[in-house]
Structure 1
Amino acid sequence: MERLNFKHTIPIQLRFNDFDALGHVNNSVYFSFYDLGKTSYFNEVMPEMVSSNDVGVVIANIQVSFLLPVYPNENVAVQTAVVEIGNKSFKLFQQLINVDTNEVKCICQTVMVGFDAKTKATKLISDEWRKAMIDYEGRGDLSKTV
């Protein structure tokens, strides 16, 4: 993947219970960090749509690669970017970084699918969501519709 220019970063406060017996952040905790990044990203990119309680997307696939451990007292943040938008889905790329050293600690790739909670079926990514993500990222090449 080409080097991304992340426009969205959210600091993460490490908590005592994030750490395991080995003294580093437990691998299961990273998912909550990435969820915080997704929530903050969507609130910044599409606040009016997120506040309507009709978000309309679910996670279809998530892949995480743990690169370096995170230890207590590290200053970390999650960076989030949309890297591709299809007809019914879009792909997010996220990474957890040490903001003091810029070391990438972990990377996450997520496929989000448009979903109608009433019909329990997939749905198209709306033009409003598509435009908001493309405008925020400043990349007209994100849309991969067929």
Structure 2
Amino acid sequence: MSPTNIGPLEPRIPDLAAALVLFTVCHAVMVRLLRRIDRVLQAREQATDGVDRQAAETRAEADAVREATLRLLADARHDAARIRQQARQEGAALVAEARAEALRECDALRAESTARIEADRAAAERELRPYVSALAHEVASRVLGEPIAPTSRTATAETR
């Protein structure tokens, strides 16, 4: 075989051998380096995916806790509303009972006062009955301006 003359690109055997050896060494180093880089990237991806999965799980758990808390709050609000309604009803019942008690006491006081006033009036009437005639003559004397002598009842009735 004759060497062909292709100019400056003419390959020389020792240069080809050196290039082949250097290529093989570079290839081996790059393969090991790329394998290591690939492992680091896979570990990084697994860590990232793991964190993403963990974040998704944590988010789902937080959502579940939030829903449970919202349900508890809704139940608590419902219970509070029920308790307020019950307190209003009990308060209204207590007010009605107090009002009824006050009305009973008022009626009792009114009846007692009316009875006492009636008794006092009757006592005053009994006490003042003997003096009515004398007081009437005195008032008549003052009105007429002349003294009127008290007369007996029978005498006055006969003169008329």
TM-score range, shorter chain: under 0.3
Larger helix percent = 2
Q: State the structure with bigger RCO (CA 8 A, min sep 6), 1 or 2.
A: 1
Which of the pair has more CA radius of gyration?
Answer: 2
Structure-2-length-normalised TM-score: 0.18
Larger strand percent = 1
Structure-1-length-normalised TM-score: 0.20
